Chain A
């Protein structure tokens, strides 16, 4: 008897069927991968199972019995646990506090912290998930936080574990460890649903694959019976070119030069501990690294959002170390921010207004402090055409566009400015394959047009397929540098998690310098 069975689950949002009669079976001790693009309906389905969304139709069976799951609490009581893509951890609380919340061992409402800590320790020993029960979650690395999430589910008595895009923020080594843990959970009798859009994970970790597209299940297979190309075709519905076509770079003069850069984070700790790098015209330099190793601060310092503590940044020999965003824009820096809805766009502005953000005070859009609406609208119409932003009018609010179209809008603005340097952070986060291809092509076009491009991404595959040089960041330093084609995921991943030359690492080969102003 399956531990979990979904029969014809339907979930309708106004105007769209997010899940259309989706059925799924999970057997005890099995890892099922739920594969699909962003927006295919995977997370919706699992949120229904976890009681976060009410289904409009269909049936859920746990251990063969039909159940109604209206709240997460009811899901937890049925033995269903979920590790969300964005961790559900309270940063200011301790590991123990986070794990026990909702099921606190207590007497008359007073928490028995001694028992709580002991339980957390016991669980962490049993499953090999080492964490410090007294540590504040905010002080933990992303990988550690994920362990806390898994422990939390186990503490609540989960027999069915749903992992929503669990590898998005991990290094290849951490991914390996995670799947090790998942394997050991399965041998202990748990069952796992792995939500992902990454083909290699499916091939490596899953027993069975269920593929979703546009809210429907479009196929089911096992890794043994297919390959990545086949899976991709099922997922997208057409043949997908998995590699980006590109010509070799012809790097020109130095455009960006960063030296010994030290930047503090919000807690006034050194997020960058002496970073040095250069980007030349006509090349893409990719920054690889696990989230939270200083990439955000590096980008913010270059574009002027963050003031460096020491060190220098120059653009074509012009010092922009302490320049504010307006000055860096004038100097020729364009920025595709990692969070387009927060940093990239004013969602309440219409498209025309968004397309001049950054140039709003400059000719030809303004004269003597007065905006020139006609010029602005004309430019907006042109750019929307150039970058294929799908919209009925330039008067539509940016917040009403889809994620892919919002990103095209940001690209239209930032690339349309004809910058010397394009800083692109997570440019394809949350986009579907079609939009990803578009963004990648545009970035390569920029490079071929002689721009310098600094690309920051958590997606190692993206870094490897686009970059002419790859820098690996770890704990605020450049840990390694590779030329295009020289590095494989294994070697880059090794440096992403703190490996250094001194360890018995796969030694970097000829032509691969270990760079970084601060050194190792």
Chain B
């Protein structure tokens, strides 16, 4: 029987691979939407109207596209931008087997740092100020992840609890900063408007030929795409990435191979924190141009970032597409609420369902793989004898 068994590696081209890996996530999205529709219908609203509005809100209409009006799609991209950063943050953590559930805290620290540095560096030339602000925000996010990282590495305190606690601490800390030291001249709980020099340019400013009317999408998205490629490269081609993946898959073997679990944990969680910090900074510099209370309240992008990462199966490039999907949901939700009177909270329900279906799918493939492996093992053993 061993003579006849085929080699386990089937050659497949890139497209087959993409289809195979993306098929189930897409199916998960469809299923989640279907259940979402049922919930909408059950609450006495019209799901067709609702999702029609959602699509229109997220992508606009052909008539708009013809005149170069990509406002709706721009909204989608602008929502996708912080989600992409947050998704990358959480995916990177997952690759080291760390669940940065409190990314929202690092995001808030990044946001408030960006607002502060924006006010300080507003007089500098744009090309000096913006990189400095982004670096500062990333460092702030990393710093906020540092204590949970150290606690995980040194005493084994679970990052799910510690980053969550730090997320709540960050919420109150930033709330104090913007209602105290950084409050605006009128005494409102928000920072003053940042000088235009530190605003991230919008797509219509960058590519006026394509975007003939103003859009909210901004340079941040291009930075996010660049970072996704960078993160992919780091994971795949650097010794740091090798260590992160080794620790994530099997920390015992990694340790035996001379990789320090503690140091890798600190690196990975801080890099995750830095990426989350950039999510906050891009929102402040690109969309709000100030930080105000509403941004810091609510569950925020950090939470949605979890769904983004899981749907992308923690692959940095896939995170971008996953972020666009969730960005579309979020951008379309407003139109849906307006047109079909469906509360935008339905989006969170759909999010949760997507996580479920993707999670369940992983289980199924894992199970199939395992059975194949078992079979291979037995045959392999008889080979050797």
Contacts and interface: CB of A to CB of B under 8 A. Distances in A.
A18 B378 contact: yes
Interface string B1-20: 10001011100000000000
B294 interface: no
Interface stretch (B27-35, B232-240, B312-320): B232-240
A156 B255 CA distance: 43
Given A346-B249, A346-B254, A371 B380 contact: no
Interface in B131-171: none
B345 interface: no
Contact of B237 (A327, A357, A358, A371): A371
Given A37-B385, A346-B250, A357-B253, A402 B376 contact: yes
B257 A358 contact: yes
B237 A370 contact: yes
Contact of A14 (B245, B371, B384): B371
Given A16-B375, A432-B385, A405 B257 contact: no
Given A342-B250, A344-B256, A346-B254, A396 B9 contact: yes
Interface stretch (A91-99, A104-112, A347-355, A505-513): A347-355
Contacts of B249: 346-349
Contacts of A399: 373
A325 B256 contact: yes
B375 A305 contact: no
Nearest to A405: B380
A326 to B, nearest CB: 3
Which one of A342, A345, A357, A393 has the highest number of Cβ atoms from chain B below 10 Å of its Cβ?
A357
Contact of B239 (A324, A371, A438): A371
A281 B379 CA distance: 39
A325 B385 contact: no
B258 interface: yes
B196 interface: no
A330 B379 CA distance: 37
B234 to A, nearest CB: 10
Contacts of B25: none
Interface string A449-486: 00000000000000000000000000000000000000
B382 interface: yes
The interface size bin for chain B is 35 or more
Contacts of A326: 258-260
B356 interface: no
A401 B260 CA distance: 27
A360 B239 contact: yes
Which one of B374, B375, B379, B385 has the highest number of Cβ atoms from chain A below 10 Å of its Cβ?
B385
Interface residues of A, number: 55
A369 B242 CA distance: 10
Contacts of A353: 242
B384 A432 contact: yes
Contacts of B7: 392-393
A434 B376 contact: no
Interface string B354-385: 00000000000000000111111111111111
Given A14-B374, A396-B8, A325 B255 contact: yes
Interface string A227-251: 0000000001100000000000000
A347 B240 CA distance: 19
Given A305-B255, A346-B249, A39 B378 contact: yes
A198 to B, nearest CB: 18
B380 A305 contact: no
Contacts of B242: 353, 360, 371
Given A329-B258, A370-B237, A392-B9, A344 B380 contact: no
A357 B243 CA distance: 9
A214 B379 CA distance: 10
Contacts of B237: 370-371, 373
Interface in A313-338: 324-327, 329, 335, 337
Interface string A29-41: 0000000011100
A52 interface: no
Contacts of B238: 369-371
B306 interface: no
Contact of A402 (B246, B255, B257, B384): B384
A303 interface: yes
B172 interface: no
A259 interface: no
A38 B382 CA distance: 10
B385 A343 contact: no
A404 B378 CA distance: 11
Contacts of B373: 399-400
B363 to A, nearest CB: 16
A70 interface: no
B176 interface: no
Contacts of B384: 390, 402, 404-405, 432, 434-435, 438
B248 to A, nearest CB: 9
Nearest to B384: A404
Interface in A280-329: 303, 305, 324-327, 329
A74 B45 CA distance: 53
A400 B377 CA distance: 7
Nearest to B233: A370
A108 B145 CA distance: 51
Given A358-B258, A360-B257, A402-B380, A15 B9 contact: no
A404 B380 contact: yes
Contacts of A393: 7, 9
Shortest beta-carbon contacts, A-B, top 5: A402-B380, A15-B375, A326-B258, A357-B257, A392-B7
7 contacts: A303-B256, A370-B237, A371-B238, A392-B9, A402-B376, A402-B381, A432-B384
Given A13-B371, A403-B381, 4 more contacts: A326-B259, A402-B377, A402-B380, A432-B384
Interface of A: 13-16, 18, 37-39, 214, 236-237, 303, 305, 324-327, 329, 335, 337, 342-349, 353, 357-358, 360-361, 366, 369-371, 373, 390, 392-393, 395-396, 399-405, 432-435, 438
